[in-house]
């Protein structure tokens, strides 16, 4: 009897948590189909806001910028993060723990401080703010996430397999391409997906280091909010949610498949 009671309480508690987390998201999605312009009350179902959204050239340009920046920064951060994880896993040297701590500092540092620091750095270096500075900035804060995911993947790697392959005549490059890389590939892809989502959704860093011709989708939403909340903004947020959730689900499925193979 007590077991059923506590189980019921646990289910209620879990339900409350999920409502707290996802009810605001559900409201945004629901009101993106609302006919009311102000979004303060439900007046009927419509998809006109999505049609209007796809006809807005500024939104399309912002989406293109966000996509280009996210893809480019993901490639850069995935390469650097993977090389760093493999290097720190395979080699021991003085100050290794300090290097790992420095790689993780961008995760804990307040994003607004990082944005100001990047803005000052680019200004001192004479860089013009735009797509290039955004790619470099996004890669900077995405590298530690790729590093952590790949490193956790390497933590379960049996180094005896590598030694056995080298005893059989394989060189280091062959060992990496034939053994290590296939084993850590799910981790690389998962880290890349996380980096893509972080870049695609970022607002604060974009606000500081974007130029007049490099407006991203989150900044576009932020500027639209100055004129009040509308179903068009809800529709744009819904599309971003779909892209974000889709990528995260794909990344999670990659991790599960990789875990089963191991």
Q: Specify whether the backbone of 39 is left (phi greater than 0), alpha (psi in -120 to 50) or beta.
A: left
Q: Whose CA is closest to 145, among 111, 187, 92?
A: 187
Backbone angles phi, psi at 229, to 5 degrees: -80, 130
Q: What is the pLDDT of residue 40?
A: 62
Angle made by CA atoms 30, 66, 258, in degrees to the nearest 5: 80
Q: Residues 202-239, buried b or exposed e (16+ Cβ, 10 A)?
A: beebbbbbbeeebbbbbbbbeebeeeeebbbbbbbbbb
Q: What is the pLDDT of residue 146?
A: 92
Fold assignment, 56-261: MetI-like fold (1.10.3720)
Q: Whose CA is closest to 189, among 106, 247, 107, 105?
A: 247
Q: Whose CA is closest to 28, among 260, 236, 247, 227?
A: 236
One pLDDT digit (tens) per residue for the chain, 262 residues: 556 766 778 888 888 888 888 888 888 888 888 877 765 667 778 888 888 888 888 888 888 899 899 999 999 999 999 998 888 887 777 877 788 878 778 788 888 888 899 999 998 888 888 899 999 999 998 999 999 888 888 877 766 777 777 777 777 777 777 878 888 888 888 889 889 988 988 888 998 998 878 888 888 888 877 776 677 788 888 888 888 788 777 766 765 555 555 5
Q: What is the pLDDT of residue 134?
A: 93
């Amino acid at each position: 009897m007590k077991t059923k009671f506590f189980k019921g309480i646990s289910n209620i508690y879990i339900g409350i948590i999920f409502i707290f987390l996802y009810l605001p998201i559900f409201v945004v999605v629901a009101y993106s189909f609302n006919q009311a312009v102000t979004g303060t009350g439900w007046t009927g179902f419509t998809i006109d806001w999505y049609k209007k959204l796809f006809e807005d050239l500024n939104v399309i340009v912002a989406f293109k910028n966000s996509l280009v920046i996210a893809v480019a920064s993901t490639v850069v951060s995935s390469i650097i993060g993977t090389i760093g994880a493999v290097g720190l896993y395979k080699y021991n040297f003085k100050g290794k723990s300090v290097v790992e701590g420095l790689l993780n500092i961008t995760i804990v540092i307040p994003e607004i401080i990082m944005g100001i620091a990047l803005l000052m750095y680019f200004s001192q270096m004479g860089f013009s703010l735009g797509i290039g500075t955004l790619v470099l900035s996004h890669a900077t804060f995405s590298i530690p996430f790729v590093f952590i995911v790949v490193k956790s993947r390497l933590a379960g790697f049996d180094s005896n397999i590598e030694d056995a392959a080298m005893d059989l005549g394989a060189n280091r490059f062959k060992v990496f391409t034939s053994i290590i890389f296939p084993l850590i590939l799910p981790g690389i892809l998962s880290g890349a997906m996380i980096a893509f989502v972080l870049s695609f959704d970022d607002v604060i860093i974009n606000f500081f280091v974007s130029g007049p011709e490099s407006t991203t989708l989150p900044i576009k939403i932020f500027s639209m909010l100055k004129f009040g909340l509308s179903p068009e903004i809800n529709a744009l947020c819904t599309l971003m949610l779909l892209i974000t959730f889709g990528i995260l689900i794909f990344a999670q499925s990659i991790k599960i498949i990789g875990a089963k193979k191991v």
